[in-house]
Amino acid sequence: MSGAPGHIFIAGGGVAGWMFALAAARALAPLGVQITVADDGRPDESLGAQTPALSTLPGAQDHHHGLGLDDLDVLRAARGSFKLGERHTGWAPGADTVLPYGDTGADIGPVRFHQQLMRLGARAGDMDLAAYSLAGEAARLGRFAPPSPDPASFLSTLDFGLHLETAGYARLLRAAALQSGAKALEGRVMSARRGDDGALTAALLEDGRAIEADVFIDATGERAALISGVLGVGWESWAAPGFDRIASTLTQEGAAPAPLTHNQADAAGWVRTIPLYGARSDQLVFASSAMDDAAAIGQLGGAASVSAFNPGRRTAPWSANCLAVGAAACRPDPLASAEAHLAASAALRFLKLVPHGDGGAVEAREYNRVFEAETGSVRDFAAHAYLAQTRKEAPWARARTLQPSPELARRMALYAARGRIMRSEDAVYDEAMWAAAFIARRVQPHDHDPLANGLDEAALKHRCEHIRQLAAQTARRLPAHGDMLAQLHGRAP
């Protein structure tokens, strides 16, 4: 009666393919569903070209837990380090801000913390939100400790993401998936055969083999061999005008990694540095109008490589019996820190909607609806950085001509009026992260929340100052991030 599909075929390994295989094998292999991954063994581009490392959002831990993985194993396998937030420099003249994870200050009834600071007269340019956050203060000092499960402890206010080397992460996911019952085959999927009803019947490999299955997962990255190559499903581009190239490199590094991802804007583009244990990844997103590939390679170092950069999303990632995951479905701007999140949520969403023999048109429509809401929030979070930056150079001025989505336009108007943020559907970023982003990006609202005026000014000042001191004092007592990692990895970098 339930009729789960007999064979799920995953085209492409990498983080996207193997994460999907692991989730599917854990849930479906006990039902006798066969899960096969065709892995071509080439460098992992399943989450997008030039992605040697991942910098995740908080919540990756929950995904790992759901996949039966221990975070510490993940960190060990992927030269991992902890991430307490993101540092942004150069997006406005002289700006250097940290966007911390976890709680910042504390709301008072309906009055958000940033509204309290604005009530006390703080302006966007000088508001140091991170100083009221344990993650922010710890990051500044290069310290880290896992959050406390005790909600009464100030340590419970900390939250974190992970910095992971893509290749090591994929290896770990592959091993776990195989152990859960998924099968691997060597080969590169080039195309597929279709039946009379338009559905895929067999995947075609470079070496001529044809593999039949009921459901096909396209994890071939931007190549999108099935969803685009065979089914011709369209792509909606999100690129900021002119920012059309991406370069990257992974280099050895002796210094202890900072618990922060660093996004540094420069004349022709911006560099995202992800610190790993014993290594670092640098990604350079740039405008070809202002910098050629050779110059980009020169800036990052000789071993760098370059690709076209076209962030965006598939218009219908689940079409017929084919589901695109990873960059075949959505390539987020690296600024959104969303690659790993989207790969995990795709797998979990699919498992909530596993189709029967009937093709799953109803399920596909629901999947695509939620995908659209989720990726819309990822698009907007990154797009806002290009819109809010105030650099004078030509590529940056041109980037500001990016047309915001209606949802982002609404969000910006609402913040501009009185610094308000309302939650929205399937939001990947919560209200506090948006508040921190608006403040880091120096957006000055016209006014603050009138409810904040009901708070006693002297008492409020005292309270904020107390939180600031508590954050600073607690952060000083945490272990150094480098020491934590040395202990975790059990060896010097």
Partner 1 sequence: MSAPPLRQIVIVGGGTAGWMAAGALSRLIANGVTRITLVESEEIGIVGVGEATIPPIRQFNEVLGLDEREFLKATQGSYKLGIEFVDWTRPGHRYIHPFGPFGADMNAVKFHQFWLKLRGLGRAADFAEYNLCAMAAYENRFGGIAPPYRSPLTQLHWAYHFDASLYARFLRRYSEARGVTRVEGKITKVHQRAEDGFIESVELESGQKIEGELFIDCSGFRGLLIEQTLQTGYEDWTRWLPCDRAIAVPCAHGDGEFTPYTRSTAREAGWQWRIPLQHRIGNGYVYSSQFISDDEAASTLLANLDGEALADPRPLRFVTGRRKKAWVKNCVALGLASGFLEPLESTSIHLIQSGISRLLALLPDSGFAQAEIDEYNRLTDQQIEAIRDFIILHYHANERDGAPLWDACRHMDIPDTLARKLALFRSKGRLFRYEDELFAEASWHAVLLGQNVMPQGYDPLVDAAPVDEIAAALEEIRTLVRGAAGSMPLHADFINQHCRASAA
Q: Which residues bind partner 1 (CB under 8 A)?
A: 1-4, 27-28, 30-31, 66, 109-110, 348, 351-354, 356, 358, 362-363, 365-366, 369-370, 373, 410, 413-414, 416-418, 420, 422, 424-426, 446-451, 453-454
CB of residue 5 to partner 1, shortest distance in Å: 8
Going by the DSSP 8-state scheme, the letter that residue 208 receives in this structure is S
Q: Kindly report the CA angle at 301 between 240 and 384, in degrees rounded to 5? A: 20
Q: At 186, is the secondary structure helix, strand, or coil?
A: strand
Residue among 130, 92, 89, 90 nearest 113 (CA): 130
Q: Which is nearer to partner 1, 373 or 470 (CB)?
A: 373
Residue among 409, 414, 423 nearest 446 (CA): 414
Question: What's the residue count for the chain?
Answer: 493
Rounded Cα distance, 85 and 160, in Å:
7
CB of residue 213 to partner 1, shortest distance in Å: 16
Q: Which is nearer to partner 1, 163 or 448 (CB)?
A: 448
Listed in sequence order, the residues at least 6 apart from 479 whose beta carbon sits closer than 8 Å to its beta carbon are 143, 144, 145
Strand order in the sheet with 96-100: 96-100, 85-89, 261-265, 269-276, 279-287, 243-252, 305-308
Q: Which is nearer to partner 1, 34 or 424 (CB)?
A: 424
Q: Which residues pair with 169 in a beta bridge?
A: none
CB of residue 57 to partner 1, shortest distance in Å: 20
Rounded Cα distance, 154 and 334, in Å:
31
CB of residue 374 to partner 1, shortest distance in Å: 12
Q: Which is nearer to partner 1, 413 or 459 (CB)?
A: 413
CB of residue 10 to partner 1, shortest distance in Å: 18
Q: Which is nearer to partner 1, 369 or 477 (CB)?
A: 369
Q: Which is nearer to partner 1, 4 or 155 (CB)?
A: 4
Q: Which residues pair with 217 in a beta bridge?
A: 10, 323
Rounded Cα distance, 160 and 139, in Å:
11
CB of residue 11 to partner 1, shortest distance in Å: 22
Q: Kindly report the CA angle at 73 between 69 and 75, in degrees rounded to 5? A: 110
Do the bridges between strand 81-83 and strand 200-205 make them parallel or antiparallel, or are there none, so unpaired?
Answer: unpaired
Q: What single letter denotes the amino acid at residue 357?
A: G
Q: Which is nearer to partner 1, 414 or 488 (CB)?
A: 414
Scanning the structure block, which residue is given the tokens 């969000």? 411
Q: Which is nearer to partner 1, 178 or 414 (CB)?
A: 414
CB of residue 341 to partner 1, shortest distance in Å: 17
CB of residue 200 to partner 1, shortest distance in Å: 20
